[in-house]
Chain A
Amino acid sequence: MGAVVGTLTMQTRQRRPSRDKIDDELELSIVCHRPEGLEQLQAQTNFSKKELQVLYRGFKNECPCGAVNEETFKQIYSQFFPHGDASTYAHYLFNAFDSSQNGSIKFEDFVTALSILLRGTTTEKLQWTFNLYDINSDGYISKEEMTDIVKAIYDMMGRYTYPALKTDTLKQHVDAFFRKMDKNRDGVVTLDEFILSCQEDENIMRSLQLFENVI
């Protein structure tokens, strides 16, 4: 009889976890998000109706529940850079896209950011880039933040690069950046310094125009 009770309890214990897991999965998939209307998005962004349709179809296919969380985002972004590790940079990118800072990118965030990057004015693009570099959103880019960003970018290159990465490559790169951008040599770069310095650099200005026809 002890045996009977024992085996019965064992059985139920095994069955319960699997049932809970299925319930959890059901719950997750129910949380959905539907974007605002097509006209509203058209008004808010610089995309035409057709472009928004194309974008949404692709987005919906990848994320049927209407929002991307950080893990999925990292996985997707890593697929473009198979050589190295893109997860750190993807993390910064995710924070830059997630304007409402709630841990998931909805279609509106996605489209707003794309609108800025592809159809925005130069100032808007530079402002977006500044927000990307400013990890803690305090309005200043410090050397540590810049080092983090540059390290994340170099991580994406992977190990096998030519010429081989040296220990001070990162530092040199960050120093070069600060030499150019930090006008008053106070150790941090503000938004105005950043925009001004970029506008002075012809290469950057020219390159900003390159990405207009991405979509």
Chain B
Amino acid sequence: MAAGVATWLPFARAAAVGWLPLAKKTMPKPPVDKKSRNDEILFVNVSGFRFQTWKNTLDRYPDTLLGSSEKEFFFNEDTQEYFFDRDPEMFRHVLNFYRTGKLHYPRQECIQAFDEELAFYGIVPDIIGDCCMEEYRDRKKENQERLAEDTEAEMGADTPLPPHSTHRERLWRAFENPHTSTMALVFYYVTGFFIAVSVIANVVETVPCRPLKGSKKDLPCGEKFSLAFFCMDTACVLIFTFEYLMRLFAAPSRCKFMRSVMSVIDVVAIMPYYIGLVMPENEDVSGAFVTLRVFRVFRIFKFSRHSQGLRILGYTLKSCASELGFLLFSLTMAIIIFATVMFYAEKGTKGTNFTSIPASFWYTIVTMTTLGYGDMVPNTIAGKIFGSICSLSGVLVIALPVPVIVSNFSRIYHQNQRADKMRAQQKVRLARIRLAKKGTTNAFLQYKEDGGFQGQDSDSALCLKNRSSFEHQHHHLLHCLEKTTNHEFTDELTFSEMCMTESVGYRTSCSTSISSQQGVTTSCCPRRAKRRAIRLANSTVSVSRGSIQELDTLHVHKSSAGPQSRSSLNARTEGLKLNCEDRDFTAAIISIPTPPANTPDESLPPSPAIPGILRNSRASSYTHETVKISSL
């Protein structure tokens, strides 16, 4: 949790007074803060530069070197200060982090050195503030690339497939990333080749070839070798159709695929051929058919699958659409104005080309774009004057769209880069927040398991030593909340299992209504950590089904609890748990909602702590059956 809130913790705890009149149970005892409560100034000597700071400042981040007991390793008894043999310039930034909560990256420092310092002081670089994060990231990336360790670009394409992917998924992956398998690469190049062949054939078939014998007219090659061209076209179309159908089959979302630009291009590329096959050789229709053949040129757009540059260009134009549209509009305005003016200026001249305003459009466009074909030329003086104004303003207008598109392109490009970075950062941040939350939950549950709130008696003192006083107090606060509401915190796993078994419990125990009633409506079900014989005796007799589930989750918790507890006395804590477990087993046996369950109920109350060990042997023989039944 953000350690900045450590200052507010006393305040939140004081506000807990507001829960007291509502509390169903008595509040637990607060942890005793054995350390001296006076704040003191610490001296930190970094290679001769003496820094001074309050102890509280450093305690804000207890999981760093300076905030934890790790700094005691660097304490110099003679001079009564903490001595670090590190760079004092970097330390300044580290200390500022403690003071302000924001880590800044000094731009003149080497990124590698900075990372090493952070690693030494136990600070995760992800908390660099937004103001410096981009720079930090950029520099880091640069550095990595320079050291030829750039695996980011490779990662996306080369991540291995999940082991159990269907043929369909594999096929889709092959289509999207041709570099993943040889077959895909071969297919990629084959289609590329055929696109090129098809386009070239379209072009070449219009070139005039030598005429047939006995004819004077030059024939286009297409008509001379019509069969050859037809065969080539057929082959290309077959390949394209096959590719399209395969993509359609492999696509995870067929509707989305069919609406995408690339698939539309594919369809447009192959449709004319099929329409041509279907349509009869009719004279009037074939005129329209010829127009259709124009669409064959769209096959060239299929190259955009093979070329990243085309895709970026296409995207840029798409995103600049509004700017381009506006420019087109203003151009149209200018054309109309000048065409009107030229028309009326040239109206009088005999044999003029400016026959109408639309006819003048052509002159205006040609002049404004500085083409100047010369097919339409003004003759009157007024026409010439306006014509020159037109060409001068045309120069201005043409100069405008280019920087707009260029700036748009660079903006989009950088935006894409930044968006990707931010997305990655956001994911990391969210993951860290989730992890921190889970960590706090787990820490609290772990704390309860370890019997943390039994006061500072000697057995538990050792395993609790590694927790800071902040954690103690925070756990005490959460415990107070539990007592106020008379409900306990659990984690998702336990909760969902409980929900499942409660619903099952209703079903199986319908015959023995008494025990099920008792089981479900028990308000206080002693959990593993709070296993005291006295409490067990006081609690309502039959332990609810929930405790059975605790058996299953016991194993889960044990495995997850291992790496969490930093204390070296794992054996100690496990010893505590072991006792609890066995008592849990005995309790669980009783709560099986079968008729015999009622009788052992009476025997439950007098089970004190020590004879629990004796009961172990009996319990263990039952455990397997219990576990089997409860796992249902």
Contacts and interface: CB of A to CB of B under 8 A. Distances in A.
Contact of B489 (A110, A157, A194, A198): A157
Interface string A150-165: 1001101111111111
B527 A117 contact: no
Contacts of B525: 162-163
Contacts of B1: 79-80, 82
| Residue among B39, B473, B546 with the highest chain A CB neighbour number at 10 A | B39
A81 B481 contact: yes
Contacts of A118: 14
B187 interface: no
Contact of B441 (A59, A76, A82): A82
A54 B39 CA distance: 8
B540 interface: no
Interface in B462-484: 473-474, 477-478, 481-482, 484
B179 interface: no
A62 B21 contact: no
A151 to B, nearest CB: 11
Interface stretch (A18-26, A29-37, A38-46, A201-209): A201-209
Interface stretch (B243-251, B304-312, B329-337, B581-589): B329-337
Interface string B25-45: 111011011000111000000
Given A80-B477, A210-B30, 15 more contacts: A83-B489, A93-B15, A96-B15, A113-B14, A128-B18, A132-B18, A133-B21, A153-B22, A160-B491, A161-B485, A162-B489, A162-B495, A163-B544, A198-B21, A211-B16
B17 A62 contact: no
Contacts of B7: 58-59, 61-62
Contacts of B32: 213
Interface residues of B, number: 75
A6 B497 CA distance: 64
Given A125-B17, A211-B30, A7 B404 contact: yes
Contact of A214 (B4, B13, B19, B397): B13
Contacts of A79: 1-2, 5
Nearest to B492: A160
A140 interface: no
Contacts of B26: 203, 206-207
A57 B180 CA distance: 59
Nearest to B476: A210
B469 to A, nearest CB: 11
B495 A176 contact: no
Interface of B: 1-2, 4-5, 7-27, 29-30, 32-33, 37-39, 54, 56, 99, 326-327, 330-331, 333-334, 393, 396-397, 400, 404, 436-437, 440-441, 473-474, 477-478, 481-482, 484-485, 487-492, 494-495, 498-499, 502, 522-523, 525, 527, 544, 546
A160 B27 contact: no
Q: Which 7 A-B pairs have the closest CB atoms?
A: A58-B7, A3-B330, A117-B14, A2-B330, A160-B495, A207-B27, A161-B487
Contact of B487 (A77, A163, A198): A163
A96 B17 CA distance: 12
B393 A1 contact: yes
B495 A129 contact: no
Given A161-B488, A163-B487, A176-B24, A128 B17 contact: yes
A28 interface: no
| Residue among B14, B54, B440 with the highest chain A CB neighbour number at 10 A | B14
Contact of A153 (B38, B481, B498, B522): B481
Instruction: Give the interface residue-count category, chain A.
Output: 35 or more
Contacts of B39: 50, 54
A164 B544 CA distance: 12
Nearest to B436: A82
Given A2-B333, A6-B330, A207-B20, A214 B14 contact: yes
A156 B76 CA distance: 45
A204 B21 CA distance: 6
Contact of A163 (B4, B396, B523): B523
Nearest to B54: A57
A1 B334 contact: yes
Contacts of B502: 164
A162 B487 contact: yes
A114 B11 contact: yes
Nearest to A3: B330
Interface in A55-100: 57-59, 61-62, 76-77, 79-83, 93, 96-97
Nearest to A149: B22
Contacts of A76: 5, 8
B27 A80 contact: no
B5 A80 contact: yes
Contact of B437 (A6, A82, A207): A82
B64 to A, nearest CB: 17
A70 to B, nearest CB: 14
A164 B499 contact: yes
Nearest to B328: A3
Given A50-B38, A211-B14, A129 B8 contact: no
Contacts of B17: 117, 125, 128-129, 208, 211
A160 B489 contact: yes
Contacts of A173: 22, 24, 485
A80 B546 contact: no
Interface string A97-139: 1000000000000100110011000000110110011000000
B326 A162 contact: no
A204 B12 contact: no
22 contacts: A2-B334, A4-B396, A7-B404, A61-B4, A62-B4, A79-B2, A82-B437, A110-B11, A128-B18, A129-B17, A157-B481, A157-B489, A160-B492, A162-B489, A162-B527, A164-B498, A165-B487, A169-B487, A177-B21, A208-B17, A211-B30, A215-B10
Given A80-B9, A93-B15, A214-B10, A162 B24 contact: no
A125 B19 CA distance: 11
Contacts of B397: 1, 3
Given A58-B7, A79-B5, A150 B22 contact: yes
Contacts of B522: 163
A158 B396 contact: no
A23 B617 CA distance: 76
A114 B8 CA distance: 11
Contacts of B14: 113-114, 117-118, 211, 214
